[in-house]
Structure 1
Amino acid sequence: MLLLFTGIVSMLCLPLSVVGAADVRDALIYKMEILIPPKEGRDETADILQIENTVADLKDIAVIFAFKELGRPRIVLVLEVEKACSWPQLTSFLSRKGYEYSVVPLSLCSDYAHGLGVKLPHDLWTYSFKDGNLTMVTKIFPVGDLTTTEYDERLKLTFEQDRSILETGQKGACFRVLAEYPVKLVYFAPVTPTQIQAIEKILLAPGMYENEATRIENLASYTAVCQGD
């Protein structure tokens, strides 16, 4: 994964005439996951605070989301990278500290849905969540014996369901993982028990996709509590 990531960064540091504007545009958003491995004498809270401060000071890299998985020392970041050559300011820090990390490029689900013929306006999504019950859901769409048309129809139906859910007032954000096949979508959303029941009714379609849900919290909320604020 790290070799692939290094290759991506190297390509993006080339002039636009070499890489192509479309590729650069698609690679502006990334999901980074950072795992702090257990180590004798390690202060996990102090490490997480240092990561938060380092991320906040990044140049040419804007933080869209910063979450911590509940019950695990794993941080999930969604970053908008203005200049890909700025990556070393973060990756060098992580490597020096001995943290494990992975990076995947993302694109907005609205853009992907538009390409499939589904109108899913950008302003339906939310890119800032209050503290509360937050979740990260990864949907993987198996290909099976579906034709390309049937596969696209399955994705279109999913985005139409997303639109219906968002129009009820549910908040959320959605990204497609680029260069992944079968298609993988990543959602972030606040979810209450009542909302879960409503969503389950809409999404009652066994076999359409595989779900993996992870409870998360805003990184700032975690670090604020740990500092006694």
Structure 2
Amino acid sequence: MMRFVIGLIILSCLSLSVLSDADDRDALIYKVDIFLPPKEGRRETKDILRIRKTLKQLSGIRVLFSFKELGNPHVILILHVEKACTWSQMTRFLSRRGYEFSTKCLYHISDFARELGVNNTDDLWATSFDSELMVIDSVILPVKGLSTLEYNQMMKWILEKAITIVKSGQQMTCFRTLASYPVELFYIGPVSQSTVEKYDRYIHGPRHFLNEVTRIENLDDYAGVCQRD
């Protein structure tokens, strides 16, 4: 599984404090990781369902994707904040409930690819997932020893391979974090043995990648109960 997406993607981060005006699309998409620390009397399932319900009530914040990590009290959100002033709704809710959370500003992979001269369209990338068996893979490519031109050429190669996989029928989406190097990308998509084999053909890239794979399910599918066969 750790080889699953190793050859795919990349770009790193900007802090929440740099929220800019509503016209700056780069600063208005966020990955939010919410952790529910152990606490006496805490009911994990109830808290996660409360998060899911609250997301539907927020105004000016659109949920692009929402996931629950398998086996851990960890919710992962990709949010589009339509106006910077609406963000406080989210932070007030999380702080009031005593949840631990962190954020990263994101940029959609389709825009990144176009900047590098890689042909793609927005509708190429998934906007939702039906599969219950998915992963989110954080992929980082070390920058040491590379010029900017070499680094960009390597990223272009990686994105071209990712687009080839998508065009072959594999459903996926990806976001990069903003601003600094080394580049970090978050790949999101369903997982199966056939997709592992498909990615395997592309992992022998020009450099070694650092990646961390997290098994996830759609938050809307989470019920907090075991499913019997």
> Under a length normalisation based on structure 2, what TM-score does the superposition of the two structures give?
0.88
Secondary structure of the equivalent of 2:207?
A: coil
Q: Distance in 1 between matches of 2:226 and 2:164?
A: 40
How far apart are residue 204 of structure 1 and its match? 2.3
Alignment of structure 1 residues 67-216 onto 2, 5 Å: 67-205=67-205, 207-216=207-216
1:28 corresponds in structure 2 to 28
Q: Distance in 2 between matches of 1:40 and 1:208?
A: 43
- Asked if structure 2 preserves the Cα contact closer than 8 Å seen for 1:134 and 1:217, the reply is yes
Cα deviation, 1:113-153, whole Å, max 9, x if unaligned, reads 11111112211110100132100011111111011111111
Q: Distance in 2 between matches of 1:48 and 1:34?
A: 10
Question: In the comparison of the two structures, how many residue pairs are matched?
Answer: 213
Secondary structure of the equivalent of 2:222?
A: helix
- Considering fraction of residues, name the structure with more helix: 1
Secondary structure of the equivalent of 1:32?
A: strand
The one-letter amino acid paired with 1:31 is K
- Long gaps (5+) in structure 2: 1-14
- Asked if structure 1 preserves the Cα contact closer than 8 Å seen for 2:108 and 2:174, the reply is yes
The one-letter amino acid paired with 1:8 is V
**204-213 vs 189-198, greater mean Cα deviation:** 204-213
How far apart are residue 227 of structure 1 and its match? 11
> Under a length normalisation based on structure 1, what TM-score does the superposition of the two structures give?
0.88
How far apart are residue 206 of structure 1 and its match? 6.7
Q: Distance in 2 between matches of 1:144 and 1:70?
A: 34
- Asked if structure 1 preserves the Cα contact closer than 8 Å seen for 2:154 and 2:206, the reply is no
Q: Distance in 2 between matches of 1:54 and 1:226?
A: 20
- Asked if structure 2 preserves the Cα contact closer than 8 Å seen for 1:154 and 1:208, the reply is no
Cα deviation, 1:180-220, whole Å, max 9, x if unaligned, reads 31111111000111111111112222734211111000011
The one-letter amino acid paired with 1:62 is R
Percent identity between the two aligned chains: 45
Q: Distance in 2 between matches of 1:182 and 1:202?
A: 21
1:62 corresponds in structure 2 to 62
Q: Distance in 1 between matches of 2:84 and 2:59?
A: 11
Q: Distance in 2 between matches of 1:33 and 1:180?
A: 20
- Asked if structure 2 preserves the Cα contact closer than 8 Å seen for 1:28 and 1:105, the reply is yes
Secondary structure of the equivalent of 2:201?
A: helix
